[in-house]
Structure 1
């Protein structure tokens, strides 16, 4: 199980590196086309109904080091939160009745 999780993390790392490198390359080769592509993906979100939300404020942050680290952290977290039938439950964050943040395994012990 430990080795399998490490291999999955390595695979996710390679996927995210490939995604960011491809995005950086496309931004260098065709910045206008990449801008249209990013805006097209965002049309599905309701955030574009906000007039204060402009591409110039957030668009350049795509495919940067903080973007890479954020995507990598989220994808790795999703790996750990998967629950398979017959396997252990994920150790996801929960909030106690007193409002204190805890982990699921804290309640189990």
Structure 2
């Protein structure tokens, strides 16, 4: 996401806890509401989750039955995963006129490296 540069006088900034706390509250509220609805209206939530799965074509794979992955929605592990992803996205902001973030990537071999390092290796080989 490309944004205008912040108006800070120095080139570095300290991490701000504000956005992380807001994301924590939003995701926690979503998980609590979702879990409550799963307890109160299990059939309706099953239909809703299956409808969400249609968009990703997950329902068409016979190896993925709802009983295997449906109950994982709105669990504590789900909360942890969503928080990890959303918090990581906070660090990956790009500002016009400033260097882009050096985002971690995973190669096909399973090796974790940073995007800039990966691109340097690719261009050195070719």
Q: Please report the TM-score for the alignment, with normalisation by the length of structure 2.
A: 0.70
Q: Which residue does 2:31 correspond to in 1?
A: 20
Structure 1 window deviating more from structure 2 (43-52 vs 8-17): it is 43-52
RMSD: 2.5
Q: Which residue does 2:62 correspond to in 1?
A: 51
Higher RCO (CA 8 Å, separation ≥ 6 residues): 2
Aligned 8 A contact 2:92 2:103 in 1:
yes
Distance 2:98 2:22 in 1: 21
1:31-72 CA deviation, whole Å, 9 max, x = no partner?
111111111111111222211110000111111111110010
Report the secondary structure of 1:63's partner residue: coil
1:30 to 16, 41, 44: 41
More helix by share: 1
Q: Please report the TM-score for the alignment, with normalisation by the length of structure 1.
A: 0.80
Gaps of 5+ in 1: none
Q: Is 1:2 aligned with 2:45?
A: no
1:84-106 CA deviation, whole Å, 9 max, x = no partner?
2234522311479xx96333577
Distance 1:85 1:39 in 2: 41
Gaps of 5+ in 2: 1-12, 119-126
Number of corresponding residues: 105
Q: Which residue does 1:85 correspond to in 2?
A: 96
Runs (4+) of structure 1 exceeding 4 A deviation are 104-107
